[in-house]
């Protein structure tokens, strides 16, 4: 199958593609690179370890479509997953980002079985997945994983709510700053591999508008642009320009979730 293109046409990977990292000489990432897994008590972590399966998250992979019955929770150790709402006319907007601070697949434990949004890999990485059956058993124990998963869900609700307000009331300049900062928070590099068209789809705006804003950012020495890449040169200046929405969400994540 072809990889997902920036207009969010879906691409699924079969089980054979979602294999463990068996590249000769490569070491699998430590599951504790995920902040939720890293915060579990030793007893809980060791109980989960045999059930954690490492999977690759290639760029553009649609992990789940709107309405899908989700069978696995994913705990990213690297990469970024976007939560995306799509409309009947084909337009779409990103409502949330998940990196190694959290998990993907909250419908597994929230009881609704599915979500109206889709999940798509924005930045390639890896994750450890846990089956629905195992997660539901863990929730029945009422332990720390349940507590952390619910705290993350509260933080995610704060993010999606603030994003909705931001999209309605703030300028594209401010929204772009927010999106860049939230993405940087979930990466280890100042360079982002993404096209202007993809950013437009995530923000729900035309590519030409994205190009105009990024062109101004480049003139102001906030970023440098390459083909399909953006390098942030001054995070400090982005923080000066961004609306209050970034700090509201950032503070809520810091309040609710384990520290890095």
* Predicted local confidence at residue 6, as pLDDT: 38
Q: Are residues 132 and 192 in the same domain?
A: no
pTM of the model: 0.87
pLDDT tens per residue, range 122-134: 999 999 999 999 9
Residue 138 lies in a domain: yes
Question: What average pLDDT score do residues 54-83 get?
Answer: 93
In a domain, 229, yes or no: yes
State whether 180 and 107 are in the same domain: no
The answer to whether residue 259 is domain-embedded is no
The answer to whether residue 44 is domain-embedded is: yes
Mean pLDDT of the region 45-73: 93
Query: pLDDT tens across 189-243, in order?
Result: 999 999 999 999 999 999 999 999 999 999 999 999 999 999 999 999 999 999 9
Residues 179 and 234 in one domain: yes
Same domain, residue pair 140 and 42: yes
**Average pLDDT taken over every residue of the chain:** 88
Whether the pLDDT of residue 246 is over 90: the answer is yes
The verdict on 139 and 180 lying in the same domain is no
How many domains does the chain fold into?
2
Q: 120 with 37, same domain? A: yes
Greater pLDDT, 156 or 17? 156
Q: 110, 145, 180 — which closes off a domain?
A: 145
25 has a pLDDT exceeding 70: no
Q: Note whether 43 and 141 are same-domain residues.
A: yes
* Secondary structure of 75-121 as H, E, C letters: EECCCEEEEEEECCCCCEEEEEEECCCCCECCHHHHCCCCCCCEEEE
Query: Domain range spanning residue 179?
Result: 171-242
| pLDDT given at position 129 | 97
Convert 140-161 to b/e letters by CB count within 10 Å (16 or more is b): eeeebbbebbebbbebbebbbb
- pLDDT for res 9: 36
Residue 153, phi then psi, degrees to nearest 5: -60, -40
Residue 2 has pLDDT above 80, yes or no: no
Whether 19 is covered by a domain: the verdict is no
Please determine, for residue 8, whether its predicted confidence score (pLDDT) is greater than 60.
Answer: no
Whether the pLDDT of residue 149 is over 70: the answer is: yes
Contacts of 166 (CB under 8 A, 6+ apart): 174, 175, 178, 243, 245
Does residue 139 share a domain with residue 64? yes
CATH of residue 78: 2.60.120.10
pLDDT cut 70: percent of the chain above it: 90
CATH number at residue 230: 1.10.10.10
CB neighbourhood size of 209 (10 A): 15
Residue 81 has pLDDT above 90, yes or no: yes
């Amino acid at each position: 199958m072809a990889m997902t293109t920036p207009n969010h046409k879906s691409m699924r990977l079969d089980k054979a593609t979602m294999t463990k990292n068996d590249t000769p000489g490569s070491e699998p990432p430590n599951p504790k690179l995920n902040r939720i897994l890293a915060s579990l008590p030793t007893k809980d972590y060791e109980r989960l370890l045999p059930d954690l399966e490492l999977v690759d998250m290639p760029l553009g992979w649609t992990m789940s479509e709107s309405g899908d019955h989700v069978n696995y929770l994913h705990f990213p150790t690297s990469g970024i997953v976007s939560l995306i709402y799509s409309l009947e006319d084909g337009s779409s907007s990103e409502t949330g980002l998940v990196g190694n601070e959290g998990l993907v697949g909250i419908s597994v434990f929230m009881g609704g079985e599915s979500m109206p949004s889709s999940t798509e890999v924005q930045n390639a990485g890896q994750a450890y997945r846990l089956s629905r059956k195992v997660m539901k058993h863990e929730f029945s124990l009422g332990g720390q994983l349940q507590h952390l998963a619910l705290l993350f869900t509260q933080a995610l609700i704060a993010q999606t709510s603030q994003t909705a307000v931001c999209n309605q009331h703030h300028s594209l300049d401010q929204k772009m700053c927010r999106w860049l900062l939230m993405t940087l928070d979930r990466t280890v590099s100042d360079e982002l591999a993404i096209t202007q068209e993809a950013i437009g789809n995530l923000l729900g705006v035309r590519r030409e508008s994205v190009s105009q804003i990024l062109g101004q950012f480049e003139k102001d020495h906030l970023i440098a642009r390459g083909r399909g890449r953006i390098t942030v040169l001054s995070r400090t200046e982005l923080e000066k320009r961004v609306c209050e929405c970034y700090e509201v969400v950032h503070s809520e994540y810091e309040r609710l979730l384990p520290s890095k």
